[in-house]
Amino acid sequence: MSSVTRVAAIDCGTNSIRLLVADADAADGQLHDVARRMEIVRLGEGVDRTGSFSAEALSRTMQAVDSYADQMQQLQPERVHFVATSATRDAANHDEFFRGVQARLGVTPEVISGKQEATLSFNGAVRALPANTYPSPYLVVDVGGGSTEFVAGDAHGNIRAMRSVNVGCVRMTERHFANDPPLPSEVSAARDDIEAAIALAAKDVPLRKTQTLVALAGSATTVAGLALGLWEYDRGQIHLAKISAADVHRTCEELLYMGRDKRAANAVIHPGRVDVIAAGALVLSAVVAYTGVADVVISEHDILDGIAAQLAFG
């Protein structure tokens, strides 16, 4: 009897929807990627202001779900788990979203809490870190579209503290950046908002006691690609790259005062992140400054890998 189980994990956040199909091997406890995809759908567009999903955002998201359904039909995963995060927690009309996913995939999305999101992100990231390479305790930070998760724990996957706060690249862009590039007053207001949220997280999570800061998700990986001077986005070079605090701050400042056309022309920046990456970089920069770390480890493994591992191994 085969020890391998094929699983499919879908993570639908404020900005993107992602699919991981992986073969989970019970013999070695590892996940082996079969397919990994990401589409920028901006499901949470306007939710911070209106409290509901727009028809356009739902349409974009369902087109991506249709595409994922076609691929899953070909790959035939035995188990499927669809997780929805920040935007869906906030949207009054999330039932419409649920019905659309159910009709296409035959599964109902699970809307997880900020704490569940943080746990899955931590587990996904820690599984990917080479053993005995980075000192504990870890602080895993997931900068998303609508929220940012902070999780403190150790190399064995034991979580000591966590907190989710409502600052993310989409939410901060929509709330503060009326101009592009943003005015200094807009940057200052966003920074104040972000720093207040970090201070709130610090009440529960010992942010300044971390030995290794690990940053996840598209804002962090994009900042890393830019800081590394890559010509195009390269997942292999970005994963586990160590970026100095100075380079994080420098890249953030460059993005904040870079015009849209220049951002759009940079192949490291996904087209769907062009208008929100400056705010995402500002969140990451503020976290690095608050913790006082000398550098940050960037991980391409995150909540999606945590969902798949939970689905496969419990």
pLDDT in tens, 191-225: 999 999 999 999 999 999 999 999 998 899 999 99
- Asked if residue 276 lies in contact with residue 264, where contact means CB atoms within 8 angstroms, the answer is no
Cis before 181 (ω within 30): yes
Q: Give the pLDDT score at 101.
A: 93
Tokens of residue 257, six digits? 């005062």
- Asked if residue 41 lies in contact with residue 61, where contact means CB atoms within 8 angstroms, the answer is yes
The 8 Å CB, 24+ separation contacts for 52-55 are 52/91, 52/92, 52/93, 53/87, 53/91, 53/93, 53/94, 53/96, 53/97
Closest listed residue to residue 143, CA positions, set 177, 170, 175: 170
How much is the average pLDDT of 159-186? 93
Alpha carbon distance 268, 108 (integer Å): 34
User: What dotted CATH number matches 115-298?
Assistant: 3.30.420.150
Strand duo 159-165 + 242-244: pairing:
unpaired
| Helix, strand, coil share of the chain (percent; to 5) | 45, 20, 30
Task: Examine the pLDDT at 113 and tell me if it is beyond 70.
Answer: yes
How much is the average pLDDT of 103-125? 87
Alpha carbon distance 259, 263 (integer Å): 6
Task: Write out the H or E segment, with its range, that includes residue 141.
Answer: strand 138-143
What is the amino acid identity at position 47? V
C-alpha angle 10-16-22 in degrees, rounded to nearest 5: 30
115-298 matches 4-111 in CATH topology: yes
217-263, pLDDT tens digit by residue? 889 999 999 999 999 999 999 999 999 999 999 999 999 999 999 99
Collapsed DSSP state (helix, strand, coil) of residue 137: coil
Cis before 135 (ω within 30): no
Task: Examine the pLDDT at 275 and tell me if it is beyond 80.
Answer: yes
Model pTM score: 0.87
Which one of 20-34, 92-106, 109-123 scores highest in mean pLDDT? 92-106
Closest listed residue to residue 16, CA positions, set 93, 83, 92: 83
User: What dotted CATH number matches 4-111?
Assistant: 3.30.420.40
Q: Where are the domains of the chain?
A: 4-111, 115-298
- Asked if residue 43 lies in contact with residue 57, where contact means CB atoms within 8 angstroms, the answer is yes
How much is the average pLDDT of 40-50? 85
Tokens of residue 159, six digits? 């979580």
Q: Give the pLDDT score at 2.
A: 62
Confidence bin at 19 (pLDDT 50/70/90): very high
Alpha carbon distance 152, 138 (integer Å): 6
